[in-house]
Amino acid sequence: MNKNSLHSGSSARWQMPFISNRRLFALLKYFFLILVSIPFIFPFWWMFTTSLKPISDVFGQLTLLPETWLFSNYIEVFQFQPFALHYFNSVYIAVLVTVLTLIMSALAGYGFARIRFRGNSLFFVMLLTSLMMPIEVTIIPNFYLIQSLGWTDTHLPLIIPSVLGPQGIVATFMMRQFFLSFPDELEDAARIDGLGRFGILWRIALPLARPILGTVAILTFLGSWNSFLEPLIYLSNQNLFTIPLSLRSYTDSYGYPLWNIQLAATVLSVVPMLIVFIVAQRQIVNSFARSGLKG
Amino acid sequence: MISNLQRENLPSGMSLKRRDEIYGYLFIAPQMIGFLLFVLGPLIAVFVFSFQDRNLLLGQITFAGIDNYQAMFKDALFTKTLQNSLIFTAGLVPLNVLGGLFIALLLSGNLRGMIFFRAIFFLPVITSAAAWAIVWRFLLQSESGVNTFLQAVGIDGPNWLQEPNWAMVSVIVTRALKGVGINMIIFLAAIKNIPQDYQEAARVDGATGWQVFRRITMPLLAPAVFLVTVLTIIGALKVFDTIFLMTNGGPSNGTMVLVYYIYYQGFQFFETGYASALSVVLFLVMFILTLIQWQLRRRFVFDEQE
């Protein structure tokens, strides 16, 4: 723990001839980092290699690479069930939820932060209460509501309650925080130039809000993409499935998992996310750092 | 309508304010409607339902008083569920909080390759919970990844997901690996916020590295640790997908936790009245935890700052 060797001359006595304490400390750090990394990397490697194995080779051997590369597993993914359709469902729902959430939360966040109207803070405090309530608490009454709206076995319950319910409110909260710090002078200048509220929001506020819009977009997309409980209870028609539901359906007629094909499908669902993450790591990490809200 | 108002009142000073008010209401209207429809309404409903005898399939609804709550006390599976939720939380929180702190401390201080390692620990966060659970379910089969790994170092691993206690350990560790990256990120940001001067001043005064850590870094990180702890507890009590996909609450209900039990009673047994009473229990726990979180947040303002 002697990081201070540069500062205090006295610790020089304790240094080994070739490796300084500082070096040793760094080496120790790397040793632990690599050790701790194993359970984070290993599942991805195992998932990938198993997805290329024949089912007979799936268990019982510690090999770095498959002995036979069975690319046909990846074809079977699509033959077994309409995986491409499930993929499309997940993508279009996540994109739609993200776009609608951006619009709604920008409007509401801007309204709460910049416009004075009677009940502003009262309404906002009301919204805040929903931050303390995970969707799991109201899943029973929400099911009755969706049923009475005739929305079961449609994608609507995966879209509308996400945009306008608790997740959308979290987004509104984040947008409001951003717009609160927005300089008054800019708005005043825009008004003198004859811009109305929509004009100010669209031309002045939103372009400046790009970082927070990015954050909201990333968290919303991932939230929708990963959602499991709602599709599970609202969807029974297999053609409407999203990826998380689809992945668990790779079983044989006895309900026993078709491991290699299931893992091939999992690889296909994970890889685009990993690529996006590698490209936009900083932006994504910052988004999560900004939202201590996400439980 | 709005443009009419505009034209009518344009000369007076009031009009601008009035018009603005209308825009304000318009802007927040969708979220407020959503709030009433999907948050407040259902929240009131869940309390009402909890005093009713309801069945999702049969559709008959009768007033039941506190029957559902009384039934809870006699329900051995509910007691087991609460125990399991407690064990899951007690297992997950130290792993996730201390693990996140440990990794963040390893990564702090201009470590070369920091971005690379940070990415590795963050990979499971952006992987969907479903994918992560499916991979680990595979790795924890008796002759699969984890056990072949253990065998290589001479340990005979158990059949992880088939024995109640090991199944609980399995879901805890799987979930911990999934979420530790978020905590790491929050801790890294908190460490970065500690003014460098404090540590340097202490060093000039002759403090050792350990003393600096113990007396300066740790106390300044304490609020972040508390906040992350509460967030992790909330997350732990909400766990569903990992357990659904890995163990289905089994074996012998060994991993049956609160949210899974709500799902189980509501959507497998269609006892939506009883499931609502269970939801009320979940709500009360969450409510208390969130109040604590807000108190902490006031002291450690994390995302609200510039």
Quick one: average pLDDT of A170-193?
Answer: 86
Q: What is the pLDDT of residue A5?
A: 41
Q: pLDDT band for position A19 (50/70/90)?
A: low
Of the residues A30, A47, A75, the one at which a domain ends: A75
Contacts of B84 (CB under 8 A, 6+ apart): B168, B253, B254, B255, B256, B257
**Cβ–Cβ below 8 Å for B306 and A181:** yes
The CA radius of gyration of chain A, in Å to the nearest whole number, is: 26
- Measured CA angle at B255 (ends B174, A145), to 5 deg: 95
Residue B148 sits in the same domain as residue B44: no
Is the CB of residue A35 less than 8 Å away from at least one CB of chain B?
no
**Cβ–Cβ below 8 Å for B126 and A116:** no
Residue A208 sits in the same domain as residue A281: yes
Instruction: Give residue-wise pLDDT tens across range B85-131.
Output: 999 999 999 999 999 999 999 998 777 888 899 999 999 999 999 99
Residue A20: half-sphere exposure toward Cβ, Cα within 13 Å? 11
Q: Could you give the CA distance from residue B14 to residue B26 in angstroms, rounded to a whole number? A: 18
Binding-face residues of A in 225-284 toward B, CB within 8 A: 225-226, 228-229, 232-233, 243-244, 247-248, 257, 259, 262-263, 266, 269-270, 273-274, 277-278, 281, 284
Q: What is the pLDDT of residue B162?
A: 87
Residue B161 sits in the same domain as residue B248: yes
Is the CB of residue A149 less than 8 Å away from at least one CB of chain B?
no
Structural domain for B23, as ranges: 2-49
Residue A166 sits in the same domain as residue A233: yes
DSSP string covering B25-69: HHHHHHHHHHHIIIIIHHHHHHHHHTTEEE-TTT--EEE-TTHHH
Q: Could you give the CA distance from residue B198 to residue B271 in angstroms, rounded to a whole number? A: 59
Residue B121 sits in the same domain as residue B29: no
The alpha carbon of residue A204 is apart from the nearest alpha carbon of chain B, in Å, by 16
Q: Could you give the CA distance from residue A22 to residue B59 in angstroms, rounded to a whole number? A: 70
Kindly report the CATH number assigned to the domain that includes residue B215. Answer: 1.10.3720.10
Secondary structure of residue A5 in the 3-state scheme: helix
Query: Which residue in chain A is spatially nearest to B184 when comparing CA positions?
Result: A289
As for the ipTM of the complex, it is: 0.87
Residue B28 sits in the same domain as residue B101: no
Q: Could you give the CA distance from residue A113 to residue A182 in angstroms, rounded to a whole number? A: 9
Q: pLDDT band for position A15 (50/70/90)?
A: very low
Nearest to B178 by CA among B250, B239, B108: B239
Residue A101 sits in the same domain as residue A43: no
Of the residues A50, A75, A100, the one at which a domain ends: A75
pTM of the model: 0.88
Nearest to B244 by CA among B235, B254, B255, B236: B255
How many CB pairs below 8 A link A and B? 305
**Best residue in B17, B128, B132 for a mutation probing chain A (most A CBs within 10 Å):** B128
Q: Which CB contacts under 8 angstroms, 24+ apart, belong to A7-16?
A: A7/B203, A7/B204, A8/B203, A8/B206
Q: Are B150 and B166 in contact (CB under 8 A)?
A: no
Residue A155 sits in the same domain as residue A32: no
Q: Could you give the CA distance from residue A22 to residue A120 in angstroms, rounded to a whole number? A: 56
Q: Are B125 and A223 in contact (CB under 8 A)?
A: no
Residue B182 sits in the same domain as residue B284: yes
Strand positions, DSSP E, chain B: 52-54, 61-63
| Helix%, strand%, coil% for chain A, nearest 5 | 75, 0, 25
Q: Could you give the CA distance from residue B172 to residue B152 in angstroms, rounded to a whole number? A: 24
Residue A110 sits in the same domain as residue A23: no
Instruction: Give residue-wise pLDDT tens across range B17-31.
Output: 788 889 999 999 999
Q: Indicate the range of A133-137, A264-268, A271-275, B211-215 predicted with least confidence.
A: B211-215
Structural domain for A69, as ranges: 3-75
**Cβ–Cβ below 8 Å for A142 and B38:** yes
Average pLDDT, chain B: 87
The alpha carbon of residue B74 is apart from the nearest alpha carbon of chain A, in Å, by 22
| Helix%, strand%, coil% for chain B, nearest 5 | 75, 0, 20
Residue B248 sits in the same domain as residue B190: yes
Binding-face residues of A in 66-95 toward B, CB within 8 A: none
Binding-face residues of A in 161-200 toward B, CB within 8 A: 161, 163-166, 168-169, 172, 174, 177, 181, 196-198
The alpha carbon of residue A44 is apart from the nearest alpha carbon of chain B, in Å, by 8
Of the residues A41, A57, A75, the one at which a domain ends: A75
Torsions phi, psi for B62 (to 5 deg): -130, 150
Query: Which residue in chain A is spatially nearest to B302 when comparing CA positions?
Result: A292
And the tokens for B295?
């108190």
